[in-house]
Structure 1
């Protein structure tokens, strides 16, 4: 054991314990690709033994990097964007990066240009946009951005790096689940179609429904909120012809169930309801909600890994789509006429 006395441990003490040069320790700290696994292991073990914390200011000066990722979040109060931001923060921290977020809200005076300018002036190494609207992406295309930028969206993009949860696959799971139960007339309560995730789910719903020969029915466009869905359900004057509703997120699905109950209809006896997200309360609602679970942790890891590769000049990973999982609970059942 090296005696470090009362002073904080330094890079040369780490090098002594690991049996390498201080330059090798520096390369490990900066994720240099040409380090042997055994050498990297010894250095990391020495860092842990000494509880060494590198001088981030000195590292930034040496590498011209701040190890900071700027994140622009649309509607940071919603479950999905909040969960993605948290996952990005955790993954970034594990990789030795920090995250500086800025939230954009509809009607907010802060523009995408101002958000980018704010983050770039803080010296971020890369930018990420979470839960974007198509209007925001269009605005970002007109901005000269000098650092790597990633947009969390389903489709590849010629301007930005992209990564996403597989919205198409998740929606396909919903339609297939309802069809397997016997439903052939399904209403889709979509999110705002300026939101890329809402648009992806709406397109996937129509595509899969068409492949099953399900009746073509106009969608209802909501605003992601439980209040909108509650008001829609309370506005029904009679039991509708459709036998199931696919809501584009769990908040709207829960609002639907509440509104249908107050209108005198039972879920799933009269109508099945399926959501998307698997929010923590979904399993505890009455009836417990059938929904699509999104792996936000895996998405956060993919975002950080792709941005790190771009920052560090490594090969960019291929477009990643994170798999989804259908969680079947009591809010979906066979249609009423087949019982």
Structure 2
């Protein structure tokens, strides 16, 4: 069988009716191509199956067209959804993605060194690794961090977790509950701390002393155990820091014979794909994981191309269902 011939720029140029230089500009995402011509060249690339030679382009431009992504774990729903969003957004811009997970006790400085060795143009750091990112020597590596306090060393893209938690707590108080108990995320998590802060702000604004926090680990099992141990007489409203812990809370309440929302109202956070399928369907705070991934990639690519991007905080949305 004859070996298939690699599609060249000249073949694309002939199909599109343009010069080889124009094809090169499109392949390198140059702004010096009008939209109609760019569309014609991209159509020719797709028809012929043209793939840019990354090694050659890296030599020409000094860029690898590769982004790094660092996460403590990809086991959580939020991180896995953001990974998908980042991967899709990077691919749409012609960038490859290198993923590193840290695990327990991992050294993020070593992770950044590995990314530099691999020649990535910049990196995105997800949620639970942000505290480590602040302590790392990140000079020389462009970083966009998802969910972090502002830091001059990197750009931050995040959800306004405190605002989302306030809206959830205020909804429960407006329904007539004397207080709201909180099943919080793990210590050391920026998102968990911000959600706890928003819960405390809403209670303080209503003149209510915050109950003791029940601290979980994001898992449904932790939500179940924590709520199972709560004194039934004292608890009529629960704000859980994520939907998995809210699911565990629903199970604990059902097993104790308490009805949701008649006896205890429950609100979660994230709006995972199956939140509407819980029993009862879960009222929750939705954060837009697709937008977080898209904005993180967009800002990192802008930085790679020479423009230092600004921080961005996305507003969450309270999704009312029947659990509260």
TM-score, scaled relative to structure 2: 0.92
Deviations 1:252-282 (A, max 9, x none): 1111111122223222121111111122232
In the alignment, structure 2 segments of 5+ residues that lack a partner are none
Closer, same or farther: CA 34–209 of 1 in aligned 2, 3 Å: farther
Report the Cα distance in structure 2 between the residues aligned to 1:236 and 1:162, rounded to whole angstroms. Answer: 37
Q: Which of 102, 108, 121 in structure 1 is aligned with 2:117?
A: 121
Q: Which residue of 2 aligns with 1:42?
A: 40
Instruction: Supply the distance in 2 between the matched residues of 1:269 and 1:12 (Cα, whole angstroms).
Output: 70
Is this contact kept in 2: 1:133–1:194, CA < 8 A? no
Deviation larger for 77-86 or 230-239: 230-239
Q: Secondary structure at the match of 1:276?
A: strand
The within-5 A match list for 1:264-279 is 264-279=257-272
Q: CA deviation at 1:154?
A: 4.8
Report if the CA contact (8 A) 2:283-2:323 is conserved: yes
Which region of structure 1 is more displaced relative to structure 2, 87-96 or 205-214? 205-214
2:281–2:323 contact (8 Å) kept in structure 1:
yes
Q: Equivalent of 1:16, from 14, 17, 27? A: 14
Cα distance between partner residues in 1 of 2:230 and 2:44: 67
Aligned residues: 322
Q: Which runs of 5+ in 1 are unaligned?
A: 333-339
Match of 1:60 among 58, 73, 79: 58
* Cα distance between partner residues in 1 of 2:225 and 2:236: 19
CA shift, 1:224, in A, is 1.3
Structure 1 counterpart of 2:186: 192
- Counterparts in 2 of 1:271 and 1:281: CA distance versus 1, 3 Å: same
1:177 aligned partner? 171
Q: Which runs of 4+ in 1 moved over 4 A?
A: none
Match of 1:324 among 313, 316, 322: 316
> What are the equivalent positions in structure 2 for 1:61-80 lying under 5 Å apart?
61-80=59-78
**Superposed CA RMSD:** 2.1
Query: Are the aligned partners of 1:268 and 1:331 in contact in 2 as well (CA < 8 Å)?
Result: yes
Local SS of the residue matching 2:232: coil
SS at match of 2:298: helix
- The answer (yes or no) to whether the contact 1:92–1:98 under 8 Å persists in 2 is yes
SS at match of 1:275: strand
